[in-house]
Structure 1
Amino acid sequence: MTAVPDQPIRVLVVDDHEVLAGALAQVLATEPDLVIAGVAGDLGRARSLLATSTPDVVLLDHRLPDGDGVAALPELQALRPSARFVVLTASTADSVLVAAIEGGAAGFVSKTRGLGEVTAAVRSAASGEAVISPELLARLLPRLHRGGQSRPTDLTEREREVLALLAEGLSNAAIAERMTVSVHTVRNHLANLSAKLGAHSKLEALSIAIREGLLPDR
C-alpha cells in the first residue's frame, strides 16, 4: 500500500486526446497520495493552469494542437519552476527524447505503457528521480549536445562524483549507497548542482554538464 504523504502530489495532465486525458486523470485521482490539479487539452490552457494552480508534476503531451510540448518546456517551466515535467509521447525517436532531456524534463513515459507505469512515473518525478531507464539513458547520452553557452564550473569533487553516477542511470538511493552517504546528502548535492547549472531536473543537469565538458565523453 502507498503511504499517504502529508501533502498529496498535485498532477496536471496536458493531452489533447480527451479520452486518454480523462482516463489518466480518473486513475490518478483514485490514488491516495495524488490529486488532480487540472486537465488541459492544449498549451494555451496549460499556461493558464500553470499560472493559477500549483502542480507538483505535469504530464505533458509531446504533440498538441497549438504547438510542440517538448519545445514549449522552457516557457512552461518558467511559469511554474517548482513543477516536474514528464513528457508523454508516442514517439521513440531519439531526437524527441534528447530534446525533452535538454528542455528540462524529469523524464518521459510512452503512451503505450500501462496506466500503472504512468502513476509510478508521477511519484518518481515528484521525489526528484529521473524517469528513464539506465539502458535508455546510456543510448541517449552520446546524442546530447556539446559546446555552447558557458556555465559555472566551480563544482566540488563530490558534485562531479554525483554527476558521473547520474550518467550511469542510478537512483538517488543507489548513488547514496555507492558514495556511502545518506540519500539526504545526495539530494543536497543535486540541489547544489541544479542551482549552479541552472537545471530544472537531474536529467537537465546531466545534459548541461555534458554540453559544458564537465563530464568526460562517453
Structure 2
Amino acid sequence: MRVNDGSGGAEVVRVVVVDDHPVVRAGLLGMLGGQPGFEVVAEAADGAEALAAVARTRPDVVLSDLRMPGVDGVELIRRLASAAPGTRVLVLTTYDGDADVLPAIDAGAVGYLLKDSPREELFRGLRAAARGESVLAPSAAARLIERVRAPARPPRGPLSEREIEVLALVGGGASNREVAAALFLSEATVKTHLVRIFAKLGVSDRTAAAVTAHERGLLP
C-alpha cells in the first residue's frame, strides 16, 4: 500500500481486477474508482493477462474471479504465490461449492467473497486482504469448517469397488446417464450407488463426494 499525499496520509490499496466478463470488470472499475482509498492499476480478462499486469504494476491485491478461460483463478493464485508473494489474492466469484472454495484457499487466496456481497463488505475485504488478513463469505467459511471436521469423523464403511468406479466417473464430470452407459448399469442403479456413497462419506452432493474421496485417497 502506498500513501496518498492528497488525502491526509490515508493508505491507498492498489488493485488489479481480473474477470473474463467485460461488464463485471467495468462495474468493479467504476465502483472502486469512485471510492477513496483504492486505485485500480490494471484490469485483466484471464489469468495470463493478470500475471503480466501484476509483474508490471506490483499491486497490493488481485481481485479475481475463479472460472475463466485459459489460466483460471486457482492456477493464477498458485503462480502468484511464487511470482509475486507480496501481492494478495481476494477471490470474488459467483460460486461457493467445495470444488471452488477449497482449491482457491489451498492455492493461497487470502479471501473469498461472492459477487452478491454488499459494496462495503467488498471494500473491507480488499483492505483486509492488503494487510494479509483473511476474509471469507459465510458460505466459504462453512466449507472450510466442514473440511476441518471431516477427517475427525469416523468412516462410515469402505466403498465397494463398484462404488469407487461410479465415484471416479462422477468426479470426472459424468452425468448419471453417462455413468450408467459406461458401466452397463441402469440410471436407477447409479442413483442407488450414489446414495450409498454419500452416506458412507458423510456428504450430501456429488461435488463434495468427489472432493472428500480425493482428500481421503480413495480415488486414483
Distance change in 2, residues 1:118/1:145 (3 Å) = same
Query: 2:101 corresponds to which residue?
Result: 97
Equivalent residues, number: 146
1:16 CA drift (Å): 0.9
| 1:19 aligned partner | 23
Identify the residue that residue 46 of structure 2 maps to in structure 1: 42
1:86 Cα offset (Å): 0.6
Work out whether 1:124 is the aligned partner of 2:124.
Answer: no
Q: Give CA deviations for 1:137-187 in whole Å, capped at 9, x if unaligned.
A: 35423425999xxxxxxxxxxxxxxxxxxxxxxxxxxxxxxxxxxxxxxxx
Cα pair distance change 1:90/1:138, threshold 3 Å: closer
% same residue: 35
1:73 and 2:77 matched: yes
Deviates more, 1:41-50 or 1:111-120: 111-120
Q: Which amino acid aligns with 2:54?
A: L
Residue number in structure 2 paired with 1:83:
87
Aligned-residue CA RMSD in angstroms? 2.6
- Choose 1 or 2 for highest CA Rg: 2
Higher helix share goes to which structure? 2
User: Are residues 14 and 146 of structure 1, via their aligned partners in 2, closer, same or farther at CA, if it must alter by over 3 Å?
Assistant: same
TM (norm. structure 2) is 0.59
Deviation at residue 47 of structure 1 after TM alignment: 1.2
Conserved? CA contact 1:37–1:53, under 8 Å: yes
1 or 2 for the larger relative contact order (CA 8 Å, sep ≥6)? 1
Per the normalisation by structure 1, the TM-score is 0.59
Structure 1 residues 91 and 133, CA, compared in 2 at 3 Å: closer, same or farther?
Answer: closer
Q: Which residues of structure 1 form unaligned runs of 5+?
A: 148-210, 212-218
Q: Return structure 1 stretches of 4+ with deviation > 6 angstroms.
A: none
